[in-house]
Amino acid sequence: MVSSCAPPQNAEQAPPWADLDFLHRVPTQFRLVNRGEDSLALSWQHRNMEFYREGLNDTLAPGDTFRVTSHLYAPERAYLFISPLGKLSPYLFPGKDRTVVWTGQGFKEIHRIYAPLATLDSLLPVQGPDTPVRGEWAEVERFYANRLDSLDSKRAAWKAGGAYPDWLLTFVHSEAEYAVATEMETIRGYRRMAMADTLSLPDSTSIWLNDLLRDENSRNCPGYYSLRNFHTSVTVGDGVAEDLKSAIRRATLERILVNHDAQSPQREERLARFVESELYDRTTYTVKDELVAEATSQLPDPYVSFLSNLRDSLRAVRSTTDGVMNLLSATFTDPASRTIVPARQFRGRPVLYKLWFPGCVPCVRQYPHEEALLRSFPDLRLVYLGYATPRNRWEDYVAGHDMPTTDQLFWPGSTDKVEEAIGMVGAPRYLLVDAGGGVICNNCPKPDERLLRQHIERIVTKEGPAQDTRRTTE
């Protein structure tokens, strides 16, 4: 049975966002307070980070508070990685500030309304070594059914206790369903791409998924959009003529246009959401500008004005090309402690820069794809830029590991300065620069994505073979 994130009919049970819409938002703050004895290492993934973050960047000392403010009209979920503790996935309700305290032993929720969501964070399905990724589909369903049963038991106990409003318990149940469905779709996607295995779902599961995706009230469920994206990536046709990201986003826009009447408020909001998400997303794909223009052309003036202002603000904050060049024109050091200015040292041939740090598992996963790029493009130079880590740890890691390149540089400054130059940084982050020093992309697709290869092909073809074929830093 599909549950809805729609506001209930009883006004007394209405959620805090009942009177809000896309154009009318309220500031909502999330705080993390460290009351433990040790510092915490933080990595925050949140689209409004560029505008509304306060406090420290990548560490939180004892007694300090980390703050981020979002302007919301519906619930939103972000991701906060805390080393070595793991991950928080804090939800925020419009107008309801949230404070979480690290006590040194665990997390303590300050605002009572968020207590069920703290439990939801801990019980939501996350793929791990026990996930039956390669098993029969029946194993997958049994695995996730147990997670749903645990959450339903919690929800029943909360309802019986009478301490929480119905809209909150409905929201918790809906998010649990969307989370389980999304995890199932990621398994289908993995098997399709990595194992060439197209799974046919049981009829009951297909009906359940389709009902979740058709729910007209799902705009208030953050999990709906994750499910929609993963479902589209699984169902987009094989052998598409464009890159996968383009195909997924085109299919997403087409579904909005097909499923909603021209004058439908839901259509306007979903089109606006689509454009907003593309503006915040720094990654590039072939038809991005085309899709954004198509969606924007069908929106009323108030939406166009809002999104235009957002675009201008993002451009001003990012200052993409200047920021990248400022970073690459700064002084780094190599393993021999020599000072290197990348923009000068590597000029004359195309360069793929990689921002990384020791212990970054996604960084390691790109090794074979980076090696494949270097084999395909002998004139391409791959330069690793280590950051957000002590130099001695970086030196030990570089000395003790075989990596695709010997061009290793270390950023001696703060993570703050990197973020000021190119915006929020998640590792690995790739920057592609042509032989003349021009920035091709400052948040490039990863090496395992075909679109990056296309970017490199264009600049290598245009520039011809490079004269300097050295791969070591001098």
Strand partners, 408: 384
Structural tokens at position 398: 């570089």
Which own/partner pairs from 231-239 qualify as long-range (CB within 8 Å, at least 24 positions apart)?
A: 231/185, 233/185, 233/189, 234/185, 234/188, 234/189, 234/192
> 189 and 60: one domain?
yes
Cβ pair 389, 358 in contact under 8 A: yes
Could you tell me the CATH number of the domain that includes residue 404?
A: 3.40.30.10
Domain that holds residue 331: 322-463
Mark which of 174, 200, 235 sits at the end of a domain: 235
Q: Is residue 248 domain-resident? A: no
CB 219 within 8 A of CB 269: yes
The model scores a pTM over 0.75: no
Asked if residue 402 belongs to a domain, the reply is yes
Residue with tokens 């306007």: 268
* For residue 116, cis peptide bond before it (omega within 30 degrees of 0): no
- For residue 372, tell me if it sits in a domain: yes
Query: Considering only CA atoms, which of 74, 57, 56 is closest in space to residue 65?
Result: 56
Tokens 């990248």, located at residue: 324
Verify that 231 and 327 share a domain, yes or no. Answer: no
Say if residue 220 is in the same domain as residue 99.
Answer: yes
Q: What's the confidence (pLDDT) of residue 301?
A: 95
Which amino acid does the sequence have at 16? P
110-146 burial code (b ≥16 CB/10 A, e <16):
eeeebebbbbbbebbbeeeeebebeeebeebbebbee
pLDDT along the chain (474 residues), means of 10: 50 76 91 87 66 55 83 84 68 91 87 82 60 77 81 86 87 84 82 72 84 71 77 65 75 85 83 91 83 94 93 70 83 94 91 93 93 94 94 94 96 84 79 85 84 82 42 32
Residues 331 and 211 occupy one common structural domain: no
Chain mean position to CA 367: 21
Domain assignment present for 33: yes
Of 235, 270, 285, the residue that ends a domain is 235
In this structure, the answer to whether residues 58 and 184 fall within a common structural domain is: yes
Q: Is residue 106 part of a domain?
A: yes
Residues 376 and 230 in one domain: no
Residues 340 and 193 in one domain: no
Last residue of a domain, one of 172, 207, 235: 235
Number of domains in the chain: 2
